[in-house]
Chain A
Amino acid sequence: MFKVIACRMIVPNMHLLTLVAPAVAREARPGQFVILRAEEEGERIPLSLADWDAQSGTITVVFMAIGSTTARLASLTAGVSIPTVVGPLGNASEIENFGTVACLCGCYGMGSIYPIARALKEKGNRVITVMEARSSYLFYWEERLAAVSDRVIHITRDGTKGYRGHVGRLPEIMRALDEPINRFILNGCTFFMKRASDETRPSGIKTMASLNPIMIDGTGMCGVCRVTVGATTRFACVHGPDFDAHQVDWEELLQRRKTYMPEEIVPLRTSACEDHHVASQEGKP
């Protein structure tokens, strides 16, 4: 069992969860993920690692509550334990001295891109972080990201901070920066990454995206995480999760991610009345 150290909402609907998982913390590297189960009957879901501490044996994930499992994870409190935390899974992000790297993030990607930006900075890269959100109150970890970036740029739909609009303003932002970018890193929801990839494609600059398909085992056993990259099928859990964004079949990924949308919230809706009633009749608590 894996003990919860902290669980709180950091900005509306974005949750931070810190757990004790020493084996994972010891081996974790930027870009990797873990698979968790919130309870015995729970689903297995993948969440990218946002931070870890090998000394204290803890890991941190940042996630949005959008279905029954993330809702349950969001409701955890310090001191309880969850049955499954397995990892670190997937391949680590490629960290080299590329020159100048633009780290583009939105949503839960602000959390998961942090260790990548940190490692790139440590490797001697100039790091420019671009954060996108609907509004300024949805930004989090700004200080953390600023600490590992040479510049931080914001984009908000409502214009409350930085550029007004969305990642479609990227070409303009790059022109304003007026410096050569050697690589783009994309972390965030599928729509965000697809759009960002479209914007960087004309430049021909290598763009790596951390893909987020549905997963179950996370070790290459089931194939549900298969994505098409450059006309070949890849398993995101063992060949990724990072892939060349310009080669990804984004439409297919978006469609495959919708497979269980109708089912995702059903366990949330189901009341436990019947179970309680039956149990009380059988004299159980």
Chain B
Amino acid sequence: MTEPVKKQYDLNRREMPKQLPEVRRYNFNEVALGYTAETAIEEAKRCIQCKKPLCISNCPVEIDIPGFVKCIAEGDFLGGIRILKDKNCLPAICGRVCPQEEQCEKTCVFHKKGGQIAVGRLERFLADWEAQQCEPEMPEMLPNSGRKVAIVGGGPAGLTVAGDLIKLGHKVTVFEALHRMGGVLIYGIPEFRLPKVIVTREVEYLRKLGVELITDFVVGKTRTIDSILGEYDAVFVGSGAGLPWFMEIPGENLNGVYSANEYLTRLNLMKGYLFPKYHTPVKSHRKVVTVGGGNVAMDCARSALRLGAESRIVYRRSREELPARLEEVENAEEEGVIFDFLTLPLRYIGDESGWVRAIECQKMALGEPDSSGRRRPVPIEGAIVTFPVDAVVCAIGNSPNPLIGATTPGLTIGKKGNIEADEKTGTTSREKIWAGGDVVTGAATVILAMGAGRFAARSIHEYLSRPQAEVSQNSGA
């Protein structure tokens, strides 16, 4: 009896071409260069199109991953982008910033052997391919429903709700506090990870679909939500988590101590890396320490490097516990960011003119596991180190801005400043007000915000589709 032929799987994940570290550490151009069509097809052909794919359910927006991957394998890029955009209106962004390694790719059958399909890279490829074609296809739009929805915040959650609801025939207005749409996509994530031209393109696409985009409008100040509800049938709050956390240690108000938000907003939103062509000043620092270990900290440290500084990350725990995407940690290491693990700032030391000059840190060790099994860092008695610095970026996290809560009576706010909303629908304690994204969960990922936006859009649509009598009367609807 002959042996059955063993199927040979191609477990060789195709590499993403990147700018060389020694080149890219001096520019703000995108690090990852994207697959060519040939590489994309090769990578897509590796997918064995599982009968019961595990990847789809691990995508927060449930993209038909095998579907679009098959299209790429067959060279049908148009078919692929159609499938992709059916569930994800911001694929060029997600393909770049989603932590696929924690989501779809983690459950790929090839994951154990390190050969998981590079879903993110393929998603990005399709989105970039489409952008090079003439005009993106216009999706099918339902007729005008006569209903109006206001969206607070032009970030990932808000843009997703806008995209979904406009296609369902509702009139949609997005109110954004800053002068550009995009939220964290425009002010937080640097140019070298997410080129702003992509964000502009995605926003323009929404404008073409008919979404009204209003910038320089701070809901809670320029108008309250209750005032807006006088003209709109529903409001979705996607105002994000933009309130920076500080360490609450001495010296935090010295010149040269930034929150990550300030540092990144100067560079990304205000294009300070092009100073003085763009007028928002950015100082030339020589030694920058970034405190924290998340994606934001990596972004800050890598930006500081590109501005010519010796750039250090100081993180309280060990490398294994860094919450940042491994890809970004590796990029940072390749570019020359110095990492100081198990190190905690105790205070910032300044000079007579109020500038930070040094940072005094405590060396830590991982202690015994606590009841949750987690080993928490404890100070090593007497182990103090001091670094000379001329700038510190505090990238330890954010919470939601209290403005919406403070100006919307009856809206239940949790102790961490988050709006309390149902996980499945985004409904809040106020009728006609939905919420999703970082303002509900605290700082999290772009794709989770989009997923929450998707659920909320569904719930809003159901609410608005009820017979006229059930929906409270609005003037000007």
Contacts and interface: CB of A to CB of B under 8 A. Distances in A.
Q: Indicate yes or no for A touching B, C-beta below 8 A.
A: yes
Interface of A: 23-24, 27, 37, 41-44, 68-69, 83-89, 216-217, 219-224, 226-228, 233, 238, 251-252, 255-256, 258-260, 263-264, 266-267, 270
B146 to A, nearest CB: 25
A233 B259 contact: no
Interface string B144-177: 0000000000000000000000000000000001
A11 to B, nearest CB: 26
Contacts of A86: 177, 179, 216-218, 222
Given A43-B279, A255-B353, A266-B276, A221 B401 contact: yes
A222 B275 contact: no
23 contacts: A23-B217, A24-B222, A41-B271, A43-B270, A86-B177, A86-B222, A87-B218, A217-B177, A219-B242, A220-B401, A221-B243, A221-B244, A222-B244, A222-B261, A223-B262, A224-B259, A227-B253, A238-B401, A255-B354, A256-B255, A256-B354, A263-B276, A263-B283
B169 to A, nearest CB: 27
Contacts of B187: 221
B259 A223 contact: yes
A266 B253 contact: no
Nearest to A227: B253
- Residue among A228, A259, A263, A266 with max Cβ neighbours from chain B (10 Å): A263
Contacts of A252: 253, 354
Contact of A216 (B252, B265, B275, B276): B265
A84 to B, nearest CB: 5
A259 B255 contact: yes
Given A219-B403, A222-B262, A233-B246, 6 more contacts: A43-B280, A84-B179, A219-B177, A224-B259, A256-B253, A263-B275
A228 B243 CA distance: 17
Interface of A is mostly: mixed
B253 A260 contact: no
Nearest to A260: B281
A29 B256 CA distance: 33
B218 to A, nearest CB: 6
B178 interface: yes
A126 to B, nearest CB: 31
Given A37-B179, A256-B255, A27 B281 contact: no
A63 B178 CA distance: 23
A216 B280 contact: yes
B179 A216 contact: no
A68 B281 CA distance: 11
Given A27-B221, A86-B177, A238 B353 contact: no
Given A86-B179, A228-B253, A219 B279 contact: no
A258 B351 CA distance: 14
B242 A221 contact: yes
A73 to B, nearest CB: 12
Contacts of A219: 177, 218, 221, 242, 401, 403
